Structure 1
């Protein structure tokens, strides 16, 4: 359960909308204790949903490495999922079959692993976590190490080399820190270091850092504390403490005596400017003040740089500012993406001019108050979940590892309450008045980073370790295996799960209202869903619904764009509008105490948009700039090609989803007005309210705020054209010169969401490629090492069937072998590889046992209800999911695979470097009629000449 802490607002809030209110934050009750081996244990109970989170932080990150031995912490993020002495198989399997979600991450200071499982599987999660803590090395073979090195290389290609601006952070770190500083290399490390690392090198790193005395374990959710303590002692207690981990204390960094200026080019559409100053570590004096400064500079539409660069001068596509505080150092970032053709020098001058104004004159109390309101609101929303990245278990561990106190939330928030305008001005002078690093990224061939002297050279361990001698480790004592680890713990009796009741109401204007109460946190989400999206765009004006969504919040008949933004920012509320293929939504998140003010703005924007000409022009230009970025995003290009090949440009689903420059320029204010009047009506809308509110309370408020909004006239939905018949299986190569990877998509038109085969298709997709342990991912990632990840998915759409797509980004050199494996997996799911009982039960367990977690947070519930109303599913749908999936048989899976996956009519799209892969693709049977294409100015596929 969560209690509430009340804080008296500091004087700096004077003038802000909530100056008279007290800030109220969740209090997260916990118990902390230590085992004899040094393992710190944190327990937090919350019985609202029958799930439990197990979260482990090891106090080791890339800063604990050394030159010549980088990337080890991140490598272990992968190796820890590769099996142990007692379970030498894929780590995901048992936990996914239990219905769990799991993941891990590494940064410069820590590595974390988490599982969120049904509460009757707590013992399994603890068994698995303890087994890899105590018994990983006996199962760590050279083969596994080599395979995961390949996976890491693919991750680097996908996340760094084949992503626009992907190498920027690496360049910044190298410029900001001397080469022997532990923050000078990226977390993923040097591929050369990993290539020459022996198994013993890697094992030595594990012994030094991955043990109880360097770990913090948090259990949060639905569990019995006494039982949890017994299990923790049983499974973790016998593991030896491990060596003392020395504190990382590098030599002080000398202040910069002049600006560092670096220019690089990348395969990008828009130039980008990075300004970086050295600042302070996490929780150090000045850290909170710099956070507030970042918010004032670039925290949303009310921020100074947004107004100056994006709105007024219109010389920037976007702008961000952040205080990146880490354990032993920090940096302050300002990042600006230029508008097409815009000079970075002018952007830099404008940014520095605004910084100088803050240094000369302190910000207003209102600006500081808005920053606090946003911080409070965001913090509360992040605490909705017990597990996952950023959930309560993660937050408790964060505070425990970095601040030494899991209950540091109160002190943490208290730091911000003490910030006043003078303090913000002080840090602006002190830190942003110093010399900085300036990095300019402009379009061009990707800059090759300075070559690593070890690349391609098999240096000896002694050469690499020169000057960095490690203290030899004593022999590790044997682990007393008191616990029976011969078999995995089985789940106890399933906990009772009751779906939250859905209260339906109809407003006097015809709007449907669905309310789900959740009083655990003092927040409310309001989502309005309309049955209109990109597929309803006027022919020749693709992008109309997206542009409407962008301009909708930019002013009403009585409020300017600034007034809308300020009214929301003053109370920490967030309002957004989005549009997809067939549905659009307006979403409001607000704290309960500010619901009346937030609802007033929400209702005004919903009913009375003004669509100002100047805002339309500005948003149109931003959309055109976005088109230039899309041309350098391989996955976006793959999606565009899939839609075009499956549906054709005359079909609504085949049009370029990001629009075109000509189409955007053709859209005027009258088009927005007409589209709004025809499609945004109360009798076509469903409003979903979830959170700290009752049905009667919200309905009464809505009747008052929406009293004047009435539907007028009839609505007609133009008929959809038929989907073109599928062609025989063939390959289309979208040429992307110098691409670091090939993005493979194997696709076909799927089926309708309301099909009676939906649940059988859900199980089929899970087996094929719908989750980590699926056939496709285990083949291409874990077995072959071709990719960082491979997945399949149905893109469910409202009016007609959407695509079914299998996709992965693979090494260029293995494009053809990877495609062969894709096609083999299609053959397998169609019967060549029968579905065994264990595989079937594994996937059904994954889908059904984890189902309650989909209703944990108000955001989760709202998302589920959007699906319900968007696809017009019956109210008993949620109650049918578990029994209907449980009833699926292997015969059902094979039947629907054969019915919907036509191996003879697959569309294969490869986005990659033609010069390196065309000949091999043509040599395949499916490649004999290979088409080589590229996108023209209108995002139409045309043959390459």
Structure 2
């Protein structure tokens, strides 16, 4: 639904210096944004559809911008359909579907990776289970074969071993979620809002006793009852048309007989006669307040108005709750107001993260007062228009891609499954755009009653809750019906005894045309046209990333990121933070920033009709941040809260500890990987520090503006010259990382952070590599793909598929200007942490010894890399990343065009000789329960150092 687009947060960005010499009157004339009605009219996904004799509904959307096709199969079955005592089974079965079928007895990911597939996955929600992949056009037959074989011929490959193996993986996934701070909050809310007989009373991940009780007969019955073609929708979106698609679909799916019509269960909105509350404790950094109401399904009249209205109340920097509790009164460091909607039920939630030192009761009282005020007065028409514009703009951006979450394929499938209309997104957008103060007030009065459920989540040891209460019998509204007799197969039958079809020869990669220019101050510009959607993306890439942060006051750069949009003094005049946020919303634009180890990236994402006014606002944000003193204190409090939250997250603890252990604290990369800084550093930063860092960051002659989107160089270059061409450096540049590769600080050492009671052990291992990103790293990339970079890698196959100890394990080697970091992560069953580390070390020993990369493994990785390149260039965001990496890593101008040939030319021996670290070079960081972990870790024979959580 559109919720994820309505609630999209605008990220912070990084400031620069100097003022573009543009008359404010000239700029003011450009500030009228495109009307909302014009934006809504631009959202369109043309499609054709047909239905096979077995009931399979097929939807085809043609998009020729790249030689790729997104394949989506949505089954109208989810956790609401589970029988009593089998909670979590819909999700478990989703996992089982990836373990092979009668005519493809391999992991489903393997042939897709070899074919260059991308974005392949499956997800389970309350009401649907979906499977999706994006493949090169020549591999479409392969994708259809794989999907049809598991739809029609899964059972011969299904046995107890498969069920048992996937059960352990799912249990690790469940522990992974519950191991996060506040991981039990959502299950607790569901249990409190819905009776045990309600289909929405238990999250899709289920209960552990139910998962352990499930067996192979349950799986077979589930498949027979819910996975027929008549309970599914197939969407093909991309380089395909209905005329071509129909015989292909009939060939692969036309012989599958229909299944029964599944039963449907009642999901009434519970009647609440009084408010309720509960207090939970967990390893959270600050007190969190949450209140929630049960609502009807997302398509119910009034839900869109409530959703937009709640966004004005508590979502984003212009909302009432943020303005009062966070910005003005400093009672909270974060707020939220969301509607989570599904087919048969929804939940409205309002939350606040209490500022340290503030009485939670005071915050709760203020939320009561502000909610009552808002329900009485309602939002203004301007507020609703801004939120609707933000939502429509988000939809337009998401529909740039044919696959993936929120892409065209999934949007059409969602409408078909839940609303019987692939174009239901138009209804949703129309309702969002049509919301008025009156409709919002009416919806709020109807559903946001005093009889809410409130949860106070307190810092402390996790307390037992009743979230694992068993299900009760559910009420059937529509009984299951047997399959319709008399089915006649359709299409030319496929000879499945031949196995999977070949992926086909990939067409020659057509690299995007890159146009280059230089502004009058030496700032370089690279432009690539992309007319798929009316969107323009821009990135200002600057030398100096996390490694250039202040050594004396770590976190200086992070505070700049947070303060950039809190005030400007530029060509548009003096603007405060709320006004900047309102203007961005009216324009449907966003400004964000991120910092890698060597680079700071400031991004503008805007709609083509609003390019000129958005670009000028972006230039003011970039060039003349005001750094208001009062807002510095507010943002400082938020950053300190983020650091405290990071210290409660297993992954956050590990990533904070890793740089100094891998590189040493004196190395430029030894301070931080994410730039969050330290509490002491953040507390010490002054406004003068921010201004000085900001001035040093801008070096126009070393900066590059990357522009990708629905415009032309002829149109955008004068705007860039006007906005950025007069910028001058105001200080000497920041020092850049140039240190030589260090020795690991503690090779072979294990550092244990005690997290009492944690259900999992989070493992992070790392080492510096003797390569920089400017070297030839293609052999290293292929070697890492074989070892731990792909879903079918040795590492993931061992820890996930063979052992069942982890939900997923992976490794990476990030290209940096200095010596690259090798990182490996593996959240594992805490009872298997020691064995997991031993297994990881053993894999590396084999990799460098008796079992080097095999030719077949390297060829698969090579084919995957080359065949996936068209998808890498599909969206403007992906193209921006490719352009920026080529510049940062000093690649030649023809690098993207020649990349397939370069990958093809990497010899096997070069892959085998690539410098993945030896097992003895790795430093292991483990976060988990000391009592369980320490004996296992000491048994490894490695030094074990115990440290306290930061």
So what's the TM-score if we normalise by structure 2? 0.92
Aligned equivalents of 1:466 and 1:851: distance in 2? 48
Instruction: Describe the superposition over 1:882-922 as per-residue Cα deviations: whole angstroms up to 9, x where unpaired.
Output: 112212233211111xx442333221222222111212211
Alignment counterpart, residue 549 of structure 1, candidates 537, 553, 561: 561
Q: CA deviation at 1:466?
A: 11
Q: 1:745 maps to what in 2? A: 764
Contact map agreement 1:510 1:682 (CA 8 A) in 2: yes
Q: 1:509 aligns with which of 512, 521, 528?
A: 521
Q: Distance in 1 between matches of 2:913 and 2:435?
A: 64
Within the alignment, does 1:876 sit opposite 2:890 as a pair?
no
Matched, 1:177 2:191: no
Residue 287 (structure 1) aligns with:
303
CA distance in 2, matches of 1:585, 1:755: 19
Q: 1:647 aligns with which of 663, 667, 670?
A: 663
Distance 1:538 1:363 in 2: 43
Aligned to 1:297: 313
Is 1:736 aligned to 2:755, yes or no?
Answer: yes
Once the two structures are superposed, residues 229-270 of structure 1 have per-residue CA deviations (whole angstroms, 9 ceiling, x without a partner) of 1111011111111001233324x3442111110110111111
Q: CA deviation at 1:866?
A: 2.1
Residue number among 800, 803, 807 corresponding to 1:788 in the alignment: 807
Partner Cα distance (1:203, 1:479) in 2? 24
CA distance in 2, matches of 1:20, 1:82: 47
Shift of 1:712: 4.4
Tell me the CA shift for residue 426 of structure 1: 1.5
1:885 has 2:897 as partner: no
Q: Secondary structure at the match of 2:864?
A: helix
Q: Which residue of 2 aligns with 1:35?
A: 52
Paired residues in the alignment total 907
1:188-207 to 2 correspondences below 5 Å: 188-207=205-224
**Alignment pair present for 1:820 and 2:838:** yes
The structure, 1 or 2, with the larger RCO (C-alpha pairs under 8 Å, 6+ apart) is 2
Partner Cα distance (1:157, 1:221) in 2: 37
The 3 A distance-change label for structure 1 pair 854 and 20 is closer
* Match status 1:717 vs 2:720: no
8 Å Cα contact 1:16-1:570 kept in structure 2: no
**Aligned pairs (5 A) from 1:120-159:** 120-159=138-177
Q: Shift of the alpha carbon at 1:338?
A: 1.5
Q: Does 1:241 align with 2:225?
A: no
Q: How does 1:453-602 map to 2 (within 5 A)?
A: 482-486=493-497, 487-557=499-569, 558-602=574-618
Cα distance in structure 1, aligned partners of 2:353 and 2:133: 37
Tell me the distance in 1 between the aligned counterparts of 2:776 and 2:380: 59
Q: Following the alignment from structure 1 to structure 2, what is the Cα–Cα distance between the partners of residues 464 and 259?
A: 23
Distance 1:19 1:465 in 2: 51
Q: CA deviation at 1:17?
A: 5.3
Quote the residue 1:852 is aligned against: 870
Aligned runs of 1:689-700 on 2, under 5 Å?
689-700=707-718
Work out whether residues 742 and 768 of structure 2, in 8 Å CA contact, stay in contact via their aligned partners in 1: no
User: 1:451 and 1:281 mapped to 2: Cα distance?
Assistant: 23
Q: Is the CA contact (8 Å cut-off) linking 1:49 and 1:497 kept in structure 2?
A: no
Equivalence for 2:27: none
CA distance in 2, matches of 1:728, 1:599: 49
1:381-400 matches, within 5 Å, as 381-400=397-416
CA contact (8 A) 1:355 1:428 kept: no
Aligned to 1:62: 79
Instruction: State the match for 1:457 in structure 2.
Output: none
User: Could you list the per-position Cα deviations for residues 254-303 of structure 1 after superposition, in whole angstroms to 9, with x for gaps in the alignment?
Assistant: 42111110110111111111111122312211011011112201232111
Map 1:110-121 onto structure 2 (within 5 A): 110-121=128-139
CA distance in 2 between partners of 1:930 and 1:277 (Å)? 48
* 1:719–1:73 CA distance, 2 compared to 1 (3 A): closer
8 Å Cα contact 2:760/2:828 also seen in 1: yes
Change (3 A) 1:716 1:572: closer
- Provide the C-alpha distance between the structure 1 equivalents of 2:149 and 2:551, rounded to a whole number of angstroms: 59
Query: Equivalent residues in 2 for 1:99-114 (5 A)?
Result: 99-101=116-118, 102-114=120-132
Question: How far does residue 465 in structure 1 lie from its aligned partner after superposition?
Answer: 8.0
Alignment match, 2:330 = 314
Contact 1:552–1:577, Cα closer than 8 Å, also in 2: no
Partner Cα separation in structure 1 for residue 534 and residue 895 of structure 2: 29
Give the secondary structure class of the aligned counterpart of 1:84.
coil
Shift of 1:477: 10
CA contact (8 A) 2:60 2:240 kept: no
1:746·1:822 contact (CA, 8 Å) conserved in 2? no
Question: By how many angstroms is 1:393 displaced?
Answer: 0.5
User: What is the rounded CA distance, in whole Å, between the counterparts of 1:553 and 1:465 in structure 2?
Assistant: 53
After superposition, the Cα gap between the structure-2 partners of 1:28 and 1:472, relative to the gap in structure 1 and judged at 3 Å, is closer
Post-superposition shift, 1:472? 10
* Structure 1 match to 2:359: 343
Per-residue CA shift, 1:690-724, capped at 9, x if unaligned?
11110011110111223442234653636645454
What does residue 786 of structure 2 align with?
767
**Structure 2 residue aligned with 1:230:** 247
Distance 1:572 1:686 in 2: 24
CA distance in 2, matches of 1:140, 1:505: 59
Q: Is the CA contact (8 Å cut-off) linking 1:555 and 1:611 kept in structure 2? A: yes
Q: Is residue 729–residue 908 contact of structure 1 (8 Å, CA) maintained in 2?
A: yes
Could you tell which deviates more after superposition, 476-485 or 657-666? 476-485
- The C-alpha deviation readout for 1:921-942, integer Å capped at 9, x for no partner, is 11223x2x2222224xxx5xxx
Structure 2 CA distance for partners of 1:668 and 1:260, relative to 1, 3 Å:
same
Q: Tell me which residue corresponds to 2:10.
A: none
> How far apart are 1:421 and its partner, in Å?
1.3
CA contact (8 A) 1:277 1:434 kept: no
Cα distance in 1 between the residues matched to 2:54 and 2:375: 51
Q: Aligned-pair distance for 1:848?
A: 0.9
Tell me the equivalent position of 1:705.
723
Match of residue 857, structure 2, among 835, 839, 847: 839
Aligned match of 2:93 in 76, 81, 84?
76
State the distance in 2 between where 1:333 and 1:464 align: 25
3-state DSSP class of the match of 2:602?
Answer: strand
2-structure distance, mates of 1:464, 1:373: 43
2: CA distance between counterparts of 1:465 and 1:145?
25
Q: Secondary structure at the match of 1:83?
A: coil
The answer (yes or no) to whether the contact 2:191–2:467 under 8 Å persists in 1 is: no
SS of match in other structure, 2:264: coil
Q: Distance in 1 between matches of 2:610 and 2:903?
A: 41
Shift of 1:762: 0.5
The normalised TM-score by structure 1 is 0.93
Shift of 1:755: 4.9
Cα 1:211–1:792, aligned 2, differ >3 Å: closer, same or farther? same
Shift in CA distance, 497/173, structure 1 to aligned 2, threshold 3 Å: same
Unaligned runs of 5+ in 1: 1-14, 455-462, 940-945
Conserved in 1, the CA contact under 8 Å of 2:88 and 2:204? yes
SS at match of 2:463: coil
Q: How far apart are the structure 2 equivalents of 1:44 and 1:85?
A: 30
> For structure 1, which segment, 350-359 or 774-783, has the greater mean C-alpha deviation from structure 2 after superposition?
350-359
Aligned to 2:883: 865
3-state SS in 2 of match to 1:41: strand
1:20–1:450: structure 2 CA closer, same or farther, 3 Å change rule? closer
Distance 1:737 1:696, change over 3 A: same
The 8 Å contact of residues 84 and 131 in structure 1, kept in 2 or not, is answered as yes
- Name stretches of at least 5 consecutive residues in structure 2 with no aligned partner: 1-30
Tell me by how many angstroms 1:142 deviates. 0.4
> Which runs of structure 2 are paired with 1:246-265 in the superposition (5 Å)?
246-250=263-267, 252-265=268-281
Q: Distance in 2 between matches of 1:477 and 1:674?
A: 78
1:620-649 Cα offsets, whole Å, 9 max, x none, are 111111111111111111112221211222
Aligned to 1:4: none
Q: How big is each residue's C-alpha offset from its partner over 1:645-686, in whole Å with a ceiling of 9 and x where there is no partner?
A: 112222232224422221111110101111111122322221
Pairwise CA distance, 1:19: 4.9
| Counterpart-to-counterpart distance in 2, 1:484 and 1:449 | 54
